[in-house]
Amino acid sequence: MAEVNAYVCKGCGAVAYPEHRCCRACGKTRFDLVPLEGKATLLTFTRVYNLSLAFEERYITLGIVEFESGVRALGRLAVDEPEIGMKLSSHVAPVRTEGYETYEGLWFSRSSG
Amino acid sequence: MRDVYIIGAGMTKFGRAGDWTLIDVLEYAAAQALKDADLKDDIESVFVANMGAGLLNHLSGVGSAMVDRLCLWPATAETVENGPASGGSAVKVGTMAVGSGAVDTALVIGGEVMRSVTGWEATDFVATLSHPEAEYIYGVTLPSLAGMFARLYMDKYGITPEHLAMVAIKNHQNAMKNPNAHIQQTVSMEGLLHRPEAVVNNPYVAEPLRMFDCCPVSDGAAAVILCTKEIAEKSGKPMVRVAGFGQATDTHAVHERKDPTELTAVRLAAERAFGMAGRKPADVDVAELHDAFTILEIAESEEAGFFDKGTGHIALENGETRPDGRLPINVSGGLKARGHPVGATGVAQVVEIAWQLAGKAGERQLDDPRVGFTCNFGGFGNNVLCFVFEREG
């Protein structure tokens, strides 16, 4: 299964996502890649109805979360009634299919623990 | 930098181009501006703002094509692409060209023909400016980014759907006096939110934003002529000066911003524009803000310094941003009702301010405004241009 990676600065340990050439905290340019995964908190969300033709659903739900490491990411929500501040867990799965091309990305669902 | 003046402005009606091509709408706006300036063949530089000709119209080299169509050889030509802020960027580049002394005259045109493709394709085309791996693949659209921003902003500052609707109601009302507006239809609070049929007539696009919280997909073009003080004085036309401009960028992916309710690039671009002009927000008599979504008019009015953070919706509610208020905002109808042909918008905002300051705004003319402001918002706030304009004399 594909991973979505965060970028941990070898200089100061700051975590970033997505990729940048240099660390925003210290300016260093070398990183360790670590999977973006684990528990997260929902910061905001929307249910989107005007989708591109790549999506067959009537709507999709998107959200921005903050992981326990402090790094943030946007992804698909598999939650019926999202609420700001709710605890989520993440996994990677297909998020978009165009022709024969499938793109994998972050999904978030209600955290069980 | 030398002082730079606007001596001509023109635009098409926004809406559907029909049989007109992108080159046709750009030509029309440019011809109107040239006529307004009483200039014919003495344009030294042409800057064309456009975002999607390659994708939408199978066309490239639009700047060169416009010199040819307008018979302006051997004027220099550039196409300027900066997403929905392409227009602001082209006005900035034109101002720098004249201000630097490189040229004495510049024609800046902005245009887009978006309705040549389906609404789904147009939405997807605009979405390509989001971050490819961290946003676009998930189905992010500009309305979805605005929806997430709106939810946070409303939650933090106590803004209600009624406040968002007030922006739409005001700007649709303003557009009734603008013959170039895409949508000339008044709307009411009842119709937008409270009648049973509102769920059909004003459905959600990206919750909490509904259809009437979003600008339409429009075709159209706008143009201005920039020149030196000597040429402007000789023309005998109203002296509208580009007093200041500012630009700032922010992170590409919205989630990386420290506080997702801050539009830092708007604040910085406005501060820089006011600093260059030696003016402050309280000096502004009329403003055109980038209300691609109703929430943005409220947020930008705060970030630009017109109202304290979290109070823009109160000023709106009190009528301060109506044409008869303390600071009229989007007298043209804004993107919400005048329309949003993406490459044209930044130029159209400048056209509206130039007309207001020159006393040429027709039925919607304000009472002798002297200082005007524009904010052109690119991406979802990752590249923003602001301008301050002054009427002299």
pLDDT single digits (tens) B333-372: 999 999 999 999 999 999 999 999 999 999 999 999 999 9
In B, minimum Cα distance to A94 occurs at B138
- Whole-angstrom distance, CA of residue B151 vs CA of residue B299: 13
Range in A96-100, B183-187, B362-366, B383-387 the model is least confident about: A96-100
DSSP character string of B183-194? ------HIIIII
Residue A1, pLDDT > 60, answer no
Q: In 3D, which of B205, B150, B214, B157 has the Cα closest to residue B187? A: B214
Assign residue A91 the CATH number of its domain.
2.40.50.840
As a whole-number percent, the residues of chain B with pLDDT over 70 amount to 100
**How much is the average pLDDT of B206-234?**
97
In this prediction, residue A113 carries a pLDDT of: 64
d(CA B7, CA B200): 46
Domain count, chain A: 1
Nearest CA to B351 out of B29, B24, B20 is that of: B29
Is A48 within 8 Å of B206 when comparing Cβ atoms? yes
Per the CB < 8 A criterion, the answer to whether A27 and A9 are in contact is no
Distance CA B129, CA B81 (A): 11
Q: Distance from CA of residue B132 to its chain's centroid?
A: 25
- Selected for mutation to probe chain B from A33, A49, A65, A104 (highest B CB count within 10 Å) is A49
Buried b or exposed e, range A64-95, using 16+ CB within 10 angstroms? bbebebebbbbbbbebeebeeebebebebeeb
By Cβ distance, the residue of B134, B140, B204 closest to A73 is B134
Domain range for A44 is: 5-110
- If you average pLDDT over every residue of chain B, what do you get? 97
- A62·B205 Cβ contact <8 A: no
Cis peptide before B208 (omega within 30 of 0): yes
Give the pLDDT score at B260.
Answer: 86
Which pLDDT does position B119 carry in this prediction? Answer: 86
Q: How many CB pairs under 8 A join A and B?
A: 104
Cβ contacts of A17 on chain B, cutoff 8 Å: 134, 256
With beta carbons less than 8 A apart as the criterion, state whether A33 and A7 touch: yes
Nearest-10 crossing angle of helices B142-157, B294-303: 60
| Tokens coding B110 | 């902005």
Closest residue by Cα to residue B204 from B191, B217, B216, B193? B193
**pLDDT per residue over B226-277, tens digit each?**
999 999 999 999 999 999 999 999 999 999 998 888 999 999 999 999 999 9
Q: What is the pLDDT of residues B77-115, one digit of tens each?
A: 999 999 999 999 999 999 999 999 999 999 999 999 999
Contact B150, B209 (CB under 8 A): yes
Residue A103 pLDDT class (50, 70, 90 cuts): very high
- For residue A46, give the nearest of B123, B135, B148 by CB distance: B148
Mutate which of B251, B256, B259, B261 to disrupt the A interface (most A C-beta within 10 Å)? B256
Among B72-81, B120-129, B347-356, the range scoring the smallest mean pLDDT is B120-129
**Could you tell me which of B309, B290, B259, B311 has the C-alpha nearest to residue B380?**
B290
- B5-11 sheet: strands from edge to edge: B76-80, B45-49, B105-112, B220-227, B5-11, B239-249, B383-392, B371-378, B286-288
Per residue in A35-75, pLDDT (tens digit) is 999 999 999 999 999 998 889 899 999 999 999 999 999 99
Place of tokens 């528990």: A39
Tokens of B157: 């500052």
Exposure string over A25-56, b if 16+ CB within 10 A, otherwise e: eeeeeebeeeebbeebebbbbbbbbbbbebbe
Which residues 35-94 of A are in CB contact (within 8 Å) with B? 43-55, 60, 62-64, 72-76, 84
What ipTM does the predicted assembly reach? 0.97
In CATH terms, the superfamily for domain B5-117+217-235 is Thiolase/Chalcone synthase (3.40.47.10)
* Contact indicator for B122, B114 with CB cutoff of 8 Å: yes
pLDDT value, residue B325: 98
**pTM for the complete prediction?**
0.97
